[in-house]
Homo-oligomer: A and B are copies of this chain.
Amino acid sequence: MGKEKRRRTTAFITFGHHYLYLSLPFMNQPVFSVDRLRNFTLAVFEKIGCPADHALLATTVLMEADIRGIDSHGLARLSGYVRLWEAGRINTKPQITIVHETRSTAVVDGDGGLGLVIAPYAMDVAIEKARQCGSGWVAVRNSNHFGIAAYHAMKALQHDMIGWAMTNASPLVAPTFSVERLLGTNPIAVAIPAGKEQPFVLDMATTTAANGKLEILQRLGKQAPLGWIQTKDGKPSTNPFELKEGGALLPLGSDYEHGSHKGYGLGALVDILSAVLSGANYGPWVPPFVAFLQPPANPVGLGIGHFLGAMRIDAFRPAEEFKQHMDNWLKRFRSAKPIDGQERVLVPGDVESEIARQRRTEGIPMNPVVLEDLQQLAQKLNVPAIR
């Protein structure tokens, strides 16, 4: 019961050798049940002053990252949220309000609360508007990091709606031809319901590789591929620590010849919808997630921004008809002929849903560094340690 399990996590290996390097870091890590980690996380959020319902929601959203295998966005960030709260930069008792709305749109002010709580509130507003008039779009200001975008987009699925979620983030990405870091990894998530098939769930940073992948390479002592990062002078780099030296992540596409201006354009779009439309900080003014860096002295808005949306399927065509065609679409792509050496062709979300199925029953492998960080957090906040 109180004993750690050690096992190899093989979730990725079945998807072909490209995924193998992602599975390596999970090998021989201690594994904990979802329930045990949930109880710990809940205790932490309650301890820093979240009302019970907010603490439960924040826990659910945060843990969904670990469950879906996006380990960089889950418990690995918990102590970061706590440090922001200690620095007075997260309000654990926010009054979340709609500051402006039309029948199909709204702006929500998160009152400086946890994005983990604000974004689900805003997504509920979008879903309700979609129910009423076909679609609903909510721009959010005065928020903080909202966990994985997919969680919010996927809320729409149970309502037979297509869900959208985007957020801006601390500036770590250089636009094409720029040495300056002006954008975050600014993800786009879209979840589309299906019938019998697993749904389509796209959740992508608009960079070639997100920061979490660099952290994996740092722990493994490996170099990054060319095309992920540049030095502070804008030169190609393979050093996974380059960001600490003033370097930058590269937009999806890596360089101009391979379309980095498109990845940059998408990241910029996310920034504008999330923050210029809502009244949050944008571009280089986005406050950093890490508490040891101060927010810019001359903010152009409030907190960070999100953009959430819902579109009712039957506002376009009957939901059953759509789902039959969506199943046909998904089956056709999943059964496409793979390149020699690849096991199969995947649809966005397939890897994550496979991992989630496994982890919900078999538990979540925890990186020892993250685990040690959480145990120190337990001690600091005087909540029971994970065991």
Contact = CB atoms under 8 A, between A and B. Distances in A.
Interface in A79-105: 100, 102-105
A356 interface: no
A12 interface: no
B272 A178 contact: no
A342 interface: yes
A261 B346 contact: yes
Given A233-B340, A265-B202, A175 B325 contact: no
A335 to B, nearest CB: 10
A311 interface: yes
A316 B129 CA distance: 14
A276 B329 contact: yes
A178 B338 contact: yes
Given A263-B252, A328-B300, A176 B345 contact: yes
A247 interface: no
Interface stretch (A2-10, A57-65, A131-139): A131-139
Nearest to A285: B332
Interface string A125-146: 0000000111101010000000
B336 A182 contact: yes
A105 B178 contact: no
A177 B344 contact: yes
A347 B268 contact: yes
A170 interface: no
Interface in A254-307: 254, 256-259, 261-266, 268-269, 271-273, 276-279, 282-284, 300-301
Given A262-B252, A322-B277, A100 B178 contact: no
A30 interface: no
A204 B265 contact: yes
A242 interface: no
B300 A265 contact: no
A355 interface: no
B135 A339 contact: no
This protein's copies in its complex: 2
A17 to B, nearest CB: 10
Interface in A156-214: 162, 175-180, 182, 190, 192, 200, 202, 204-209
Contacts of A228: 258
A257 B18 contact: yes
A322 to B, nearest CB: 6
A337 interface: yes
**A100, A271, A328, A339, most chain B CB atoms within 10 A:** A339
B272 A192 contact: yes
Given A16-B177, A102-B134, A333-B182, A253 B208 contact: yes
A301 B328 CA distance: 12
Nearest to A235: B339
12 contacts: A177-B339, A177-B344, A177-B345, A190-B269, A204-B265, A206-B262, A207-B259, A227-B258, A252-B252, A252-B253, A261-B348, A277-B322
Interface of A: 16, 18, 100, 102-105, 107, 132-135, 137, 139, 162, 175-180, 182, 190, 192, 200, 202, 204-209, 225, 227-228, 233-234, 252-254, 256-259, 261-266, 268-269, 271-273, 276-279, 282-284, 300-301, 311-313, 315-317, 322, 325-326, 328-329, 332-333, 336-340, 342, 344-348
4 nearest CB pairs, A to B: A102-B134, A234-B339, A105-B134, A103-B133
